[in-house]
């Protein structure tokens, strides 16, 4: 490892003390091997899956997946599937360690924002031909694409909507939910002034994951995280500033709080202190848990209000097969089974995970729900961040700057500029 | 010797070497793509605004936290040494309990104490007409809150050592002072304190090193926020490891190492036996 080239670079490095900027640019890595670009050439064979398969899944999915695997085994008697549940907190580390040590399972559930990183590490097997990609929501399908190659398939999705208290909205004189930016602002004001709320809406004032609430506004104003080729960040644009300005105005006008205690969203929604927030489908359940049956009929949702578009954030998980798998053919058969509309509807009933396949939404268990069809509609216009290697790091910088904007009054223009500067320093990563 | 080389010297030298390269997580599979970059990582770390902020926060924590902890510990030790002997064991256990309690459990209790609306601290302040701040969400108060929590949690271990030191001083020393007409404070200041010098050196070095590696309190209480006001060097280093920036992270760890070594050296110079 310590060859003369290292010594040579050490010399260059000490010159960097005087000319850092130059050295930083000059000592870039040059020996990267391109990892993207491999096209799917394989196809999945006919016939049932066989042999042993190991599968990793996180959180409640890991606990529920064995039930679904019973159905898979019935159709494929020759297969034996072992599911290992992994806690979400430990998952990212476990995956990267396993990638390094070559101890990966055959297939796994993978968080959508990790796809870029894992693909860059060369761990993922490109999706074979013969998958019906037209059935997936487009935003969800895009999370599987890294540098033009598709890895795995979307498994389940979630998207963010505005939750509101129907009874308090009526008290505030609002009978139909707003559809545009002005409407949302007016509603937050009315909630505060007429319905006795402390704050009109709960918006995250920076901190972990706040980009997921900020970006829908920026996307709706026409902003993008990167250019089309996903090589350059485009945070410092008038569109981004417009989104940030709108987001900040809720704090400066006292319609959203900067110091709300964490993990109190449900409680404050139930007691009417903060009767609106933006979040995903799981919140319907946790609000009902916090407020009991009485609150259920008063939970309303509406789509992200419109500026140029009404674009929300799409998250969820993809299902992938790893390159190192010794039983790839059967692993892909499992993935195919998981993305079948019937399986997706069955899985919804077991896990409450929303299907990534559009046709599964026609299942009565979803179509007759009072809230879920709105999520389905929002999914038609929902985006995920591009699958870039350094996304987690960029997101962290983004969250920090949003915190400065919401809490200490940093201007939207400066915020956009600071995010752009930091993101460019971090780089998109990969090759 | 072999074990020492394999499990201690090897990793230390390895990580030192790592800090002079541009190694990232993905390079662990392909070690030959790693380039030496000299001191670039160190320059980068020192130029990083957030790292400097973390360094400032850590200094703040150490400069206020270490003396506070030691004074609390010494005070408690003196009281225990002089106090009613019957309850000594009880108080010893009581003060030492936070040291052995898991930080996660402590965090739960302190979150309740520091909670803005119905927290213990603000309730008590309310009785005397003070409207307490939202401690952990305030840029100004988050760090003092963590310092208070750390001092409360850690003074017990220094206290035990002070107590041992105090009990090692023969009673005859104080009796001699008494005969010479020295008051309680004078006896403490001119007899006890100088004799405690080695104990003070030991506790200030160990507490100082512990506090320079300030990590757990912000990790469980604030995640370094609000606005990075409780971000410590250790925590920032940890974050960089999480992002896979191994080269940069190890260089930060070594910067902290050098600072700790220098400060410990100064402490030894100031407090050693003359």
Could you tell me the residue range of the domain that residue A198 belongs to? 161-312+387-426
Which of A388-397, B14-23, B153-162: highest mean pLDDT?
A: B153-162
Best CA proximity match to A124, nearest among A361, A376, A325, A311: A325
Q: Same structural domain for residues A79 and A132?
A: yes
- Cα first-last separation, chain B: 36
Q: Same structural domain for residues A82 and A198?
A: no
Backbone conformation region of residue A292, classed left if phi is above 0, alpha if psi is from -120 to 50, else beta: left
Contact check, Cβ <8 Å, B35/A390: no
Contact check, Cβ <8 Å, B40/A1: no
Contact check, Cβ <8 Å, A100/B25: yes
pLDDT, tens only, A201-255 = 999 998 888 999 999 999 999 999 988 888 889 999 999 999 999 999 999 999 9
> pLDDT at position A110, please?
94
Give the 3-state secondary structure of residue A3. Answer: coil
Q: Same structural domain for residues A183 and A307?
A: yes
Average pLDDT for residues A360-383, to the nearest whole number?
89
pLDDT, tens only, A284-296 = 888 888 888 888 8
Kindly state whether residue A6 falls inside one of the protein's structural domains: no
pLDDT surpassing 90 at residue B17: no
The answer to whether the beta carbons of residues A286 and A268 sit under 8 Å apart is no
Q: What distance in Å separates residue A266's CA from the closest CA in chain B?
A: 16
Q: Same structural domain for residues A308 and A327?
A: no
Q: At A68, is the pLDDT very low, low, confident or very high (cuts 50, 70, 90)?
A: very high
Four-point Cα dihedral B146, B147, B152, B153, nearest 10:
60
Q: Same structural domain for residues A270 and A369?
A: no
- Complete domains list, chain B, with CATH: 34-271 (1.10.3720.10)
Name beta bridge partners: A85: A57
Residue from the list A27, A100, A393 with its beta carbon closest to the beta carbon of B243 = A393
Specify the CATH number for the domain of residue A98.
Answer: 3.40.190.10
Show the tokens assigned to A205. Answer: 């004032």
Show the tokens assigned to B108. Answer: 């739960």
Kindly state whether residue A76 falls inside one of the protein's structural domains: yes
Q: Same structural domain for residues A184 and A126?
A: no
Q: Same structural domain for residues A416 and A360?
A: no
Q: Same structural domain for residues A359 and A404?
A: no
Q: Same structural domain for residues A81 and A196?
A: no
Which of A7, A9, A92 to mutate to probe the B interface, most B CBs <10 Å? Answer: A9
The answer to whether the beta carbons of residues A366 and A360 sit under 8 Å apart is yes
Phi, psi of B134 (to 5 degrees): -85, 85
Q: What is the C-alpha separation between A232 and A234, in angstroms, rounded?
A: 6
**How many A/B residue pairs have CB atoms within 8 Å?**
109
Kindly state whether residue A90 falls inside one of the protein's structural domains: yes
pLDDT surpassing 50 at residue A28: no
Average pLDDT for residues B52-79, to the nearest whole number?
92
Helices (H), B34-102: 40-47, 49-82, 88-100
ipTM rounded to 2 decimals: 0.72
Q: Same structural domain for residues A285 and A332?
A: no
Structurally, chain A folds into a number of domains equal to: 2
Kindly state whether residue A36 falls inside one of the protein's structural domains: no
pLDDT surpassing 50 at residue A21: no
Best CA proximity match to B82, nearest among B198, B191, B167: B167
Kindly state whether residue A362 falls inside one of the protein's structural domains: yes
Residues of chain A with Cβ-Cβ distance to B243 below 8 Å are 390, 392-393, 396
Q: Which residues contact B139 (CB under 8 A, 6 or more apart)?
A: A407, A408, B226, B227, B229
Q: Same structural domain for residues A324 and A402?
A: no
Backbone conformation region of residue A136, classed left if phi is above 0, alpha if psi is from -120 to 50, else beta: beta
The answer to whether the beta carbons of residues A106 and A328 sit under 8 Å apart is yes
Best CA proximity match to A235, nearest among A214, A252, A256, A250: A214
Kindly state whether residue A201 falls inside one of the protein's structural domains: yes
- A239-248, A393-402, B2-11 — which is least confidently predicted? B2-11
Q: Same structural domain for residues A200 and A120?
A: no
> pLDDT at position A227, please?
87
Kindly state whether residue A8 falls inside one of the protein's structural domains: no
CA B268 and chain centroid, separation: 18
The answer to whether the beta carbons of residues A371 and A177 sit under 8 Å apart is no
Contact check, Cβ <8 Å, B38/A100: no
pLDDT, tens only, B81-99 = 887 777 788 888 888 898 8
Q: At B112, is the pLDDT very low, low, confident or very high (cuts 50, 70, 90)?
A: confident
- B104-108, B135-139, B151-155, B160-164 — which is least confidently predicted? B135-139
Contact check, Cβ <8 Å, B29/A2: no
Q: What is the C-alpha separation between A128 and A321, in angstroms, rounded?
A: 10
Kindly state whether residue A187 falls inside one of the protein's structural domains: yes
Q: What distance in Å separates residue B23's CA from the closest CA in chain A?
A: 10
- Cα first-last separation, chain A: 22
């Amino acid at each position: 490892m310590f060859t003369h080239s290292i010594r040579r670079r050490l010399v260059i490095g000490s010159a960097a003390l005087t000319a850092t900027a130059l050295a930083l640019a000059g000592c870039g890595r040059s020996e990267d091997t391109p990892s993207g670009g491999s096209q799917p050439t394989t196809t999945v064979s006919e016939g049932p899956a066989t042999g042993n398969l190991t599968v990793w899944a996180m959180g409640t999915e890991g606990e529920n997946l064995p039930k679904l695997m019973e159905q898979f085994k019935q159709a494929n008697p020759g297969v034996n599937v072992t599911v290992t549940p992994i806690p979400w907190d430990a998952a990212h580390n476990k995956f990267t360690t396993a990638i390094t040590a070559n101890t990966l399972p055959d297939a796994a559930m993978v968080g959508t924002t990790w796809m870029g990183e894992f693909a860059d590490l060369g761990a993922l097997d490109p999706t074979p031909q013969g998958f019906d990609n037209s059935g997936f929501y487009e935003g969800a399908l895009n999370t599987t694409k890294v540098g033009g190659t598709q890895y795995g398939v979307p498994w389940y999705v979630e998207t963010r909507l505005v939750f509101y208290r129907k009874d308090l909205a009526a008290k505030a004189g609002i009978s139909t939910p707003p559809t545009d930016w002005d409407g949302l602002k007016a509603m937050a004001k009315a909630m505060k002034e007429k319905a006795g709320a402390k704050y009109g809406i709960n918006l995250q004032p920076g901190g972990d994951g706040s980009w997921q609430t900020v970006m829908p506004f920026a996307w709706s104003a026409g902003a993008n995280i990167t250019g089309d080729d996903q090589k350059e960040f485009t945070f410092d644009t008038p569109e981004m500033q417009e989104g940030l300005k709108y987001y900040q105005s809720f704090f400066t006008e006292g319609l959203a709080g900067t110091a709300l205690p964490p993990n109190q969203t449900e409680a404050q929604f139930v007691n009417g202190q903060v009767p609106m927030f933006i979040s995903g489908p799981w919140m319907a359940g946790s609000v009902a848990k916090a407020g009991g049956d009485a609150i259920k009929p008063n939970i309303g949702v509406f789509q992200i209000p419109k500026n140029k578009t009404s674009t929300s954030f799409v998250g969820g998980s993809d299902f992938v097969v790893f390159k190192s798998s010794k039983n790839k053919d059967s692993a892909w058969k499992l993935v195919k089974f998981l993305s079948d509309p019937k399986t997706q509807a069955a899985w919804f009933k077991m896990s409450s995970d929303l299907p990534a396949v559009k046709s599964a939404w026609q299942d009565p268990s979803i179509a007759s729900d009072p809230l879920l069809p709105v999520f389905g509609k929002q999914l038609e216009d929902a985006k995920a961040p591009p699958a870039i290697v350094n996304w987690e790091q960029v997101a962290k910088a983004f969250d920090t700057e949003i915190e400065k904007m919401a809490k200490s009054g940093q201007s939207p223009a400066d915020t956009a500029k600071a995010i752009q500067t930091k993101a460019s320093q971090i780089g998109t990563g990969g090759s | 010797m072999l074990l020492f080389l394999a499990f201690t010297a090897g990793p230390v030298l390895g990580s030192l070497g790592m800090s002079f390269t541009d190694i990232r997580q993905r390079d662990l599979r392909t070690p030959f793509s790693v380039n030496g970059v000299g001191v670039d990582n160190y320059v980068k770390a020192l130029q990083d605004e957030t790292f400097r902020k973390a360094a400032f926060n850590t200094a703040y924590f150490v400069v206020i936290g270490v003396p506070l902890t030691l004074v609390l510990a010494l005070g408690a030790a003196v009281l225990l040494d002089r106090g009613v002997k019957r309850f000594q064991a009880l108080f010893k256990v009581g003060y030492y309990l936070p040291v052995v309690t898991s930080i996660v459990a402590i965090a739960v209790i302190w979150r309740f104490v520091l909670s803005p609306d119905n927290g213990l601290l603000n309730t008590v302040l309310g009785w005397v007409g003070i409207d307490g701040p939202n401690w952990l969400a305030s840029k100004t108060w988050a760090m003092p809150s963590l310092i208070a929590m750390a001092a409360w949690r850690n003074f017990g271990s220094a206290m035990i050592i002070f107590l041992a030191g105090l009990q090692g001083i023969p009673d005859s020393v104080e009796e001699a002072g008494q005969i010479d007409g020295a008051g309680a404070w004078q006896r403490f200041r001119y007899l006890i304190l100088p004799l405690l010098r080695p104990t003070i050196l030991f506790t200030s070095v160990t507490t100082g090193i512990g506090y320079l590696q300030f990590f757990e309190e912000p990790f469980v209480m604030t995640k370094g926020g609000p606005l990075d006001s409780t971000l410590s060097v250790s925590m920032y280093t940890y974050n960089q490891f999480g992002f896979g920036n191994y080269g940069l992270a190890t260089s930060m760890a070594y910067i902290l190492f050098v600072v700790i070594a220098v400060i410990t050296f100064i402490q030894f110079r100031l407090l050693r036996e003359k």
